[in-house]
Amino acid sequence: MNKQAGLWIDHRKAVIVSITKEGEDIQKIESGVGKRVSFRGTSNTRSPFSSQYQQGDDQLDNKFTEQLNKFYSEVITHIRSADAVLIFGPGEAKGELEKRIEHEGLSARILAIETVDKMTDRQIVAKVRERFLI
């Protein structure tokens, strides 16, 4: 295998550790989803007709999903050249990314998907090295 990658991911960020013959490379991608985005119509004003201008939950969910899709696309772009990918992290993001990877036709490259807690960058690198026996 020429290039192996380990990916720690949650909805806020992804840490990608790429391992090649030359060494390792760490890349961080921020999703921007974790930040509270102020959408038009979401203020708690007390004016008589303010409820008419509120956005529905489905519109807010669509914006959240759109931001996540951009984030996942960027992550897939970074791991596309890897021959084997280890995906790990807390929460649901790793499963959502797995579905996107399968949709792209790259599911054969997924080595494993594991649930772990928050980790430091050093812990992430150590886990990837341990998995790929470097």
Q: What is the pLDDT along the chain (134 residues), one digit of tens a residue?
A: 478 999 999 999 999 999 888 888 999 999 988 554 555 555 555 666 655 555 556 666 778 888 999 999 999 999 999 999 999 999 899 999 999 999 999 999 999 999 999 999 999 999 999 998 86
Domain count for the chain, please give it. 1
In angstroms, what CA-CA distances link 60 with 41, 69, 108? 11, 14, 34
Q: Give me the CATH number covering residue 24.
A: 3.30.420.60
- Helix (H) or strand (E) segment spanning residue 86: strand 84-89
Range of the domain at 47: 4-131
The pTM of the whole model exceeds 0.85: no
Which residue(s) pair with 115 in the sheet?
89
Is residue 96 within 8 Å of 71, Cβ to Cβ? no
